[in-house]
Amino acid sequence: MEVQRLPRRLFYRWTEAETELEYPTDIPNPAPEITCDTVQVTAPPALPAWFTVYATQPQWGSQRFIANSVVNARQSWQIPTIRYSAFFSSGHCQVWIRFFNANGTSYEVSSSTSAIYVCWSAWMTPSSQQLPRRDLLVGADRIINPTINAPCPTWRLAGGNCPPNSLDCGNCCLDCAAVNSAINGLQQQLTRN
């Protein structure tokens, strides 16, 4: 007498301009909680960009350190890499920066031989940054948003209705033909009695 509901599906889209995507699994009844969850992810800077490399430079006389000494600045079409050549056993180095041109060819630029820096003290700007990624959570299942710094996705549920020729009785679906047959059977029993 009871029949199964039609499958209930979840459809979502990351932006209004995109087409809807279908969640691959049927959504059970009752539906799990569906929410937008924001996580912070590391994102590289936009390219091409001008990168400035800084390092800590010692002052030999009194051993003071200059922490924000500019090593070099160039435009690069990929994120530059930094390497060191040790000069002295005292932990001071020459800094080399590998930049990339528009064709993807790399070239290295070094600090001048008279500019000595504390080894492994170099950093560059712009650097990677933390940006929000807004994923869709279906119960404990996470659907990862392919973009960052975008609004929450939109979603809707479809289906989950009773199939044709059945009655929706709240928590279940009843087959109309079976209900009709049962009612007719009861009526015939009542008229016989």
The pLDDT tens digits of the residues spanning 11-56 come to 999 998 889 999 999 998 778 999 999 999 999 998 999 999 999 9
**Mean pLDDT in the chain?**
88
Q: Give the residue, 6 or 96, on which the prediction is more confident.
A: 96
Range in 38-47, 108-117, 137-146, 165-174 the model is least confident about = 108-117
pLDDT of residue 49: 95
Q: Which residues of 63-80 are buried (b: 16+ CB within 10 A; e: fewer)?
A: eeeeeebebbbeebebbb
Please identify, among 127, 160, 175, the residue that sits at the C-terminal boundary of a domain.
127
Please identify, among 96, 127, 158, the residue that sits at the C-terminal boundary of a domain.
127
Number of domains, the chain: 2
The pLDDT tens digits of the residues spanning 73-104 come to 999 999 999 998 887 666 788 899 999 999 99
Which stretches does DSSP call E strand in 27-128?
34-43, 49-58, 65-76, 81-86, 92-100, 106-110, 117-118, 123-125
Per the domain annotation, does 193 fall within a domain?
A: no
Please identify, among 79, 100, 127, the residue that sits at the C-terminal boundary of a domain.
127
CA distance 73 to 71: 7
pLDDT of residue 168: 86
Give the domain extent around 73: 49-127
- Using alpha carbons, list the distances in angstroms from residue 106 to 51, 78, 93, 100: 14, 9, 22, 4
Q: Give the residue, 39 or 62, on which the prediction is more confident.
A: 39
Per the domain annotation, does 10 fall within a domain?
A: yes
pLDDT of residue 1: 77
Q: Is the pLDDT of residue 112 over 70?
A: no
pLDDT band at 188 (very low <50, low <70, confident <90, very high): confident
Q: Is the pLDDT of residue 114 over 70?
A: no
CA distance 117 to 94: 6
Per the domain annotation, does 54 fall within a domain?
A: yes
Q: Are residues 72 and 119 in the same domain?
A: yes
Beta bridge partners of 133: 39
Q: Are residues 115 and 66 in the same domain?
A: yes
